[in-house]
Amino acid sequence: MVVVGNVQKVKTVHILLVDDVNLMCQFLNETLRVIPGVECHTASRVSTADTLLQRYDMELAIIDLNLPDGSGLEIVKQIRKGECKGNHDIPVLIFSGNTYKEAVKECLMFQVSDIIAKPIVALELRKRVQNHLNKRANINTAEHFQEIDKKLREANPPKEVKVKSSVVKNEPSEQTKVRKQLESSDSEAVNQFIKWPSDATTGFHQIDRRLKDLCFQLNHFHFYRTDKETYPTAKEDIKQIRMCLDDLNYAIKPIKASNPDLAIWKPFSERIKMISELPFDKYSTPKLALQGKGQFSKSLRTAWMGILTKPIIQRKK
C-alpha cells in the first residue's frame, strides 16, 4: 500500500487467468477482484496469454493446462524462464482436473506453486491466492529453468509433421465437434469440456455425461450472448439448452426411483430449477442492448457454477 499525502493508495496487483471456458474465467475474475488492488486479465488461449504476459507485470497466474491452441504448460515455462515482462518467480497455480501425470510432473519441475482441483470453492481459492501473494516461495533462477527446458527438448525433440494433399470438404461446426467429443468415451481427453477431478462424480455415469453437455450449452450461450454484438442462432441454442434439461430430468427419474434416499436429489432439483427459471426467451433476439445483458449474464454464471459445486459432486470413497 502506498501513502500519497493523507490518502492511502492500494497498489495494483495484476493476475493472469487462463482457461478455455468463458464462464470459468469470469467466475475466477469475480472471485478474485474483491481482493484490494487486484486486476485480473483473462485469456482462453496460449497466444492470448503470451500477449498479456508481454504487456503487464503479472504478480500471479492461474493456468488451465488444456487449451485449444496448445498446453498451458508452455505458459508456465515461459514465466519461469523469464520470458515475460514481470518477474519469473511469481506464484503460478494450475488446474489439475484430467491432467496427465507427465504434465503435472513437468509442472513440478518448473516449481508450480499450487495445484487446484475442480470444482472450485470461491472462498477457498481466494484464501489460497492471498496466501501466495503475501508469502513468496524460494524459486530457482530463470537460467536454471532455461537449462531444464533445453534438456527436455533434447530428450523429446518435436516430431516432423508430414504435409498431406488437402481435400475440400464441409467441416462440422465447432459446437458440433465439441458435442461429439463429449459423446465419445469418458477417458481423459485433452480438450474435455469440464475437467472434474478424477475422483469427483455424481456416482452415475448417465447423469455425469448429461451434466457436461448441459454445461457446454450454457457456456456456449453465455459466450455468444454477452461477447458478440449479434447472436443469430440464439433461439436454436435456447432449444438445445431445454433439450439438455429434459434429457437430464429423463435420466434422473429411474435412478432416483432406485436410490430415493441419496442426498444429491435436493440440490439437483434446486439447481435445475435455477436454470429452468432463467428468462432465456427474453434474450433470444439476435441483437440486444448492452444494458440488457448484465444481470442475465450474472444469473447464468451463478446457475452454471451451481452445477459444478458440492453437494452434487460426490467423491468416491
Closest to 16 (Cα-Cα) out of 83, 100, 92: 92
Strands in 130-180 per DSSP E:
none
Q: 61 φ, ψ to 5°? A: -135, 140
Rounded to whole angstroms, the Cα distance separating 111 from 81 reads: 11
The whole-number average pLDDT for the span 143-168 is: 71
**Does residue 88 register a pLDDT over 90?**
yes
Instruction: Record the cell numbers describing residue 262, joined without a space.
Output: 441419496
Give dist(CA 29, CA 42) in Å, integer: 8
- Cα–Cα dist 98/66, whole Å: 9
For residue 61, pLDDT beyond 50? yes
pLDDT for position 290: 65
Highest mean pLDDT out of 90-94, 191-195, 215-219: 90-94
pLDDT at 181 over 90: no
> Is pLDDT above 70 for 5?
no
- Please, which residues bridge with residue 16 across strands? 41, 61
* pLDDT at 178 (0 to 100): 40
Q: Give the pLDDT confidence of 109-150 residue by residue, as tens digits.
A: 999 999 887 777 888 899 999 999 998 889 999 999 999 999
Categorize the per-residue pLDDT at 270 as very low, low, confident or very high, splitting at 50, 70 and 90: confident
What domains lie within the chain, and their CATH numbers? 2-154 (3.40.50.2300), 174-315 (no CATH)
Report yes or no: 45 and 69 within 8 Å, Cβ to Cβ: yes
Q: What is the pLDDT of residues 218-228, one digit of tens each?
A: 888 888 887 78
- How far apart are alpha carbons 144 and 142 in whole angstroms? 5
Given a cut of 80, whether residue 99 has pLDDT beyond it is no
Q: Which pLDDT score, from 0 to 100, does residue 98 have?
A: 53
Q: What is the pLDDT of residue 62?
A: 96
Percent of the chain at pLDDT exceeding 90: 28
Q: Could you tell me the pLDDT band of residue 317, with boundaries at 50, 70 and 90? A: very low
Q: Look at residue 80 in the predicted model and tell me its pLDDT.
A: 95
3-state class of 86 per DSSP? Answer: coil
Q: Specify which of 4-18, 21-35, 66-80, 192-206 reaches the highest per-range mean pLDDT.
A: 66-80
> For residue 92, is it left (φ>0), alpha (ψ between -120 and 50) or beta?
beta
- The pLDDT of residue 46 is 92
Instruction: Please determine, for residue 177, whether its predicted confidence score (pLDDT) is greater than 70.
Output: no
pLDDT at residue 308 in the model: 67
Contact between 50 and 59 under an 8 Å Cβ cutoff? The reply is no
Residue corresponding to grid cell 465419445: 184
Cis bond upstream, residue 119 (ω within 30): yes
Give residue 74's pLDDT band: very low, low, confident or very high (50, 70, 90): very high
Q: How far is 225 from 235, CA to CA, in rounded Å?
A: 11
- Tens of pLDDT, residue by residue over 272-306, are 888 888 888 888 888 887 666 777 787 888 777 77
Q: To 5 degrees, how large is the angle CA 296–CA 302–CA 303?
A: 90
pLDDT score at 159: 60
Write down the mean pLDDT value for the chain: 78
